[in-house]
Amino acid sequence: MDIHLLDAAPTVAERVAVEHVLGPPAGGWDGGIRDSERQGHSLRGGGHEARSRRHLLLPVLLSVQEHLGWISPGALNHIAERLTVPPADVYGVATFYALLSVDPRPPRVIHVCEDLACRCNGSQELIAQLEEHLGAEGELNADGSGTWLRSPCLGQCDRAPAAMVTLSGEHPEEHVLAPVTAQQVLAAIDGRPVDGADPVTPLQQAGDPSLQLLARVGRVDPVSLDDYRADGGYAALRRALELGGEGVIRELKDSRLMGRGGAAFPTGVKWEAVAHQAARPHYLICNADESEPGTFKDRVVIEGDPYSLIEAMTIAGYATGCEHGYVYLRGEYPQAHAILGAALEEARRRGYLGPDVLGEGFAFDIEIRKGGGAYICGEETAIFNSIEGFRGEPRSKPPFPVVAGLFGKPTVVNNVETLVNVLRVVLASGPGYAETGTEGSSGTKLFCLSGNVERPGTYEVPFGTTLTELLELAGGVAGGRELQAVLMGGAAGGFLRPDELDLPLTFEGAREARTTLGSGVVMVLDDRVDIPRFLQRIAAFFRNESCGQCVPCRVGTVRQQEALARLASGRTRGGAGAELALVAEIGQCMRDASICGLGQTASSAIESAIGRLGVFGGAA
């Protein structure tokens, strides 16, 4: 295919950034130098080969963004030429992701979280100070070398308020600042040293012998494979090899393990469906695009015990016939990326990954794919498009991923927490695993406590623990203040009143109480939180994160936000009652007619605040 390129050339640095991912060009076809001495130099060829690398589009764009700070027309053009992807297509992908910029950005950008948990911990005041000192987001500092941008949830809610620093250049760096002050952000923008970057937060339950999934977190050196093995690591893989693939799936089905990403689908059923598909190859994707505001449990697992995820994925690959696994890791997790990357390298070096895992005669390897700043890419079919190098728009189902997923092949998509549970299932046997928890919800569950709670963090409790018990474990409301509400499940979840805390934390209990456990968010809001403002942030979040593909979500999230703004200001059209009816109708259309789960849940927290908390005079 001939592609029409722009009249713009890349700089040397841009070429180098592209080559970090793609290597040097093979010849004239893909953007290199034509070598007339070489035999066959004039043959047209290599187009198919170049196009077959389209799945590297997002990694290349991220590399250019990280090294140069933005994606210039010359760089975009060069990427288009290297991959034989039309420049318009590259532009469509580049403008989809919030971490990528097609307009010039300075080398230092500080992404300051303005989302829910940080809001409970002073991020609004912090942002006000930044605006006072530097002006609105995107304004440059005095020498033009740095700026700050508002960011959706950075997944650091246990140490809010948070910021992420990106430093572009020959050796790009990314750091997390949490908790962060306005002074630190201002220092980081100017390139002055900031203490306490990339914090390691100890587990609140450290030393608790009942911990299963978090047992190693904080206790072993996360990148040491020997530490992992000395602590019982890789026993589950050996057991899985004894059981055989079908045996593993049988145990999983007996365990009644349900997916922990929010949808609670039976994991064994999913694995079995893929294992039995005739089409090859099969793919495994670990969904680590943890972007639901208030969620950070997967980050804690990856940063504290990366080998458990690697081992679990190896078992999944073995049982479902996948040779290639991807970890789709959100772009805002630099520490998790570094730790998991180091662990993968070590596992590969020691033969725990590769063409012949442990000499057992099966091949399995794992690749990290970094996200570009898009909540929607946590949707399981949007992940496929994102990995394949397209805009991260969800696909319509059917066909389901177990039949036609990544590259059109049968694909298992599991959340990080789901996967690490597999180790417990294999070691304890299915029925043994199911002894913990309740009939409908087996095992333990990770909960992310944040907001105005005394001891925020990731907590592991057996299913069936009540919300009251969980809140007591976390020390209750911070500073002994009065509880106003609890947000369960994040922006896509729902609110509970203080008189509803006897809720048993199970899938069935949540369903019965017409709420959701979702991704395990438990955000505590004290009496100072301005709920109408909080809801406006939720509405803004969904407007920002909608992919724009279908009308109900693309326009519905905007109309929902506008109606909430009118309700909050009191300048309604036809009174609060009429506005609430409008919000309910928009919500129903989004829930019923959107393509994916984002639109289908974009009104749930807002409607629960109206219906349960009685905000704006709704029926409480």
* Of 388, 555, 576, 611, the one binding other proteins by CB under 8 A: 555
Of the CA atoms within 13 Å of residue 508, those in its CB half-sphere come to: 8
C-alpha 389/C-alpha 556 separation (Å) is 27
Residue with tokens 């035999």: 39
Interaction of residue 240 with other proteins, rule CB under 8 A: no
DSSP string computed for 402-460 = TTS-GGGS-EEEEEHHHHHHHHHHHHH-HHHHHTSB-SSSBSEEEEEEEESBSS-EEEE
Interaction of residue 400 with other proteins, rule CB under 8 A: no
| Distance in Å, CB of 230 to other proteins, minimum | 44
* Of 11, 35, 38, 88, the one binding other proteins by CB under 8 A: 88
C-alpha 1/C-alpha 86 separation (Å) is 9
* Of 31, 59, 146, 152, the one binding other proteins by CB under 8 A: 152
Q: In this complex, which beta carbon is closest to other proteins, that of residue 101 or of residue 181?
A: 101
Interaction of residue 53 with other proteins, rule CB under 8 A: no
Residue with tokens 């039949």: 403
Interaction of residue 546 with other proteins, rule CB under 8 A: yes
Interaction of residue 551 with other proteins, rule CB under 8 A: yes
Interaction of residue 65 with other proteins, rule CB under 8 A: no
Interaction of residue 545 with other proteins, rule CB under 8 A: yes
Question: In the structure encoding, which two tokens stand for residue 483, read together?
Answer: 């509880």
Residue 32 burial class via C-beta count within 10 angstroms: exposed 0-12, middle 13-18, buried 19 and up: middle
Interaction of residue 576 with other proteins, rule CB under 8 A: no
Neighbours of 200 (CB within 10 A): 9
Interaction of residue 403 with other proteins, rule CB under 8 A: no
C-alpha 148/C-alpha 111 separation (Å) is 6
* Residue partners of 294: CB distance under 8 A and separation at least 6: 116, 117, 153, 157, 448, 450, 451, 487, 490, 491, 521, 522, 523
Interaction of residue 536 with other proteins, rule CB under 8 A: yes
Neighbours of 44 (CB within 10 A): 8
Residue type, 289: D
Q: Which residues pair with 283 in a beta bridge?
A: 324, 411
| Distance in Å, CB of 511 to other proteins, minimum | 13
Q: Of 336-395, which residues contact other proteins (CB under 8 A)?
A: 373-374, 391
Q: In this complex, which beta carbon is closest to other proteins, that of residue 77 or of residue 519?
A: 77
Chain-centroid distance of CA 64 in Å reads 21
Interaction of residue 453 with other proteins, rule CB under 8 A: no
Beta strands in 178-319 (DSSP E): 282-288
Q: In this complex, which beta carbon is closest to other proteins, that of residue 328 or of residue 542?
A: 542
| Distance in Å, CB of 382 to other proteins, minimum | 12
* Residue partners of 244: CB distance under 8 A and separation at least 6: none
The answer for 451, left when phi > 0, alpha when psi is -120 to 50, beta otherwise, is left
* Of 19, 131, 137, 198, the one binding other proteins by CB under 8 A: 137
Q: In this complex, which beta carbon is closest to other proteins, that of residue 3 or of residue 478?
A: 3
| Distance in Å, CB of 616 to other proteins, minimum | 13
* Of 552, 583, 612, 615, the one binding other proteins by CB under 8 A: 552
| Distance in Å, CB of 537 to other proteins, minimum | 9
Residue type, 5: L
Q: Which residues pair with 486 in a beta bridge?
A: 496, 524
Residue type, 379: E
Q: In this complex, which beta carbon is closest to other proteins, that of residue 235 or of residue 576?
A: 576
Q: Of 582-601, which residues contact other proteins (CB under 8 A)?
A: 582, 585-586, 588-589, 591-595, 600
237-251 CB burial, b ≥16 within 10 A, e <16: bebbbebebebbbbb
Interaction of residue 247 with other proteins, rule CB under 8 A: no
Using the contact rule CB under 8 A, the part of the chain among 236-244, 313-321, 358-366, 542-550 near other proteins is 542-550
| Distance in Å, CB of 155 to other proteins, minimum | 15
Q: Of 262-301, which residues contact other proteins (CB under 8 A)?
A: none
Q: In this complex, which beta carbon is closest to other proteins, that of residue 36 or of residue 569?
A: 569
| Distance in Å, CB of 583 to other proteins, minimum | 11
Q: Of 489-518, which residues contact other proteins (CB under 8 A)?
A: none
| Ordered alpha helix ranges (H), 200-264 | 225-230, 235-255
Neighbours of 51 (CB within 10 A): 13
Number of residues this chain uses to bind other proteins (CB under 8 A): 70
Q: In this complex, which beta carbon is closest to other proteins, that of residue 187 or of residue 555?
A: 555
* Residue partners of 281: CB distance under 8 A and separation at least 6: 322, 323, 324, 409
Contact pattern for other proteins over residues 182 through 221, marking x by CB under 8 A: ----------------------------------------
C-alpha 377/C-alpha 425 separation (Å) is 28
Residues that bind other proteins (CB under 8 A): 1, 3-4, 6-7, 73, 76, 80, 86-92, 95-98, 100-103, 137, 149-150, 152, 373-374, 391, 396, 398, 536, 540, 543-552, 554-559, 561-566, 569, 571, 573, 582, 585-586, 588-589, 591-595, 600
